[in-house]
Structure 1
Amino acid sequence: NAKMMGVKVYVSQYMFNTPPETSFTMDLAKMLAKVELIESLHDKNFTTIRQTRSGLYSYPTDFDKGKGQLASSTLLQMQLDPDIVHVVAYCEADHAAKPEDIIESVKITKKVIENYLYGCPDMKLDGRVGQRKEELIADARLIIDKIT
């Protein structure tokens, strides 16, 4: 892994909505489990930067629905307190983003982040999220213990 290779700072990307059928509740639990497992590796010589993004396959080809996906996914991503939000343009299920698509997508994302920072309920406190996160961590640790 990156730490064993001597990397000091690693950008850890968390791709939400993959697979696209995953509910927001289960997606958040999965991402929180990943954060806990990855950040358990932190020490004085190794740290990570959190980068979040939406999974491309979660975007519908209808642009209005794509904008809704962009906004709702961004709000969910903010629950991880990311250092970087990678903006996947609302149109990318249909075509490669053009400058005007990127600008519009960034404006949508920026407003979602502003609203989140103004005040948003903590979705991490949902009991289903916490329970599933712990199940995923236990399963991952079992696998890691068997292969190390």
Structure 2
Amino acid sequence: MKTLFEAEDAIFQFDEDNTTFQFGWKGTVGLASMQKIMRMASEIANAHENVHWLVDRRALEGYDAECRIWIKNDFVNKEGKEMILKIDKIAVLESESPIATIASNVLAEAIKKVNPSIESKTFDYTQPASNWLAGIIVEEPVIEKKSKLRKLFGKK
């Protein structure tokens, strides 16, 4: 994963081997960072057949109003449309802030309207999200639990 941009409110990384963009949003994301990152992502996506997104919203508090307006009105339907059509999967690391989650979900829905075939899934940690995006299936360990019902219905 190579870091292409970093500011107080955002970090943008790209994994060329898996064509995965990783967007890390922090605090309240401003218009300047959002535009810089999304324009860089669009330019990179032009060289690829499809791309995956890993969106890390764990430290996100929200997006400023200009940022939300630009994404919904300009980016999604105009300059970012070609890239959005190349997205096949989006993995999301969820924010603790309900307000940030709602704002992000509104923007995600605008993106999915342009490309309804995008698969999306929410994760708690980066590694399972990265594995899912790369198509790596990791077997979960099977932990056998002794049923408490056995005690109720079993012989003494």
TM-score by length of 1: 0.34
| TM-score normalised by L of structure 2 | 0.33
Q: Which has the higher helix share?
A: 1
Computing the radius of gyration from Cα coordinates, the structure with the larger value is 2
Structure having the higher strand fraction is: 2
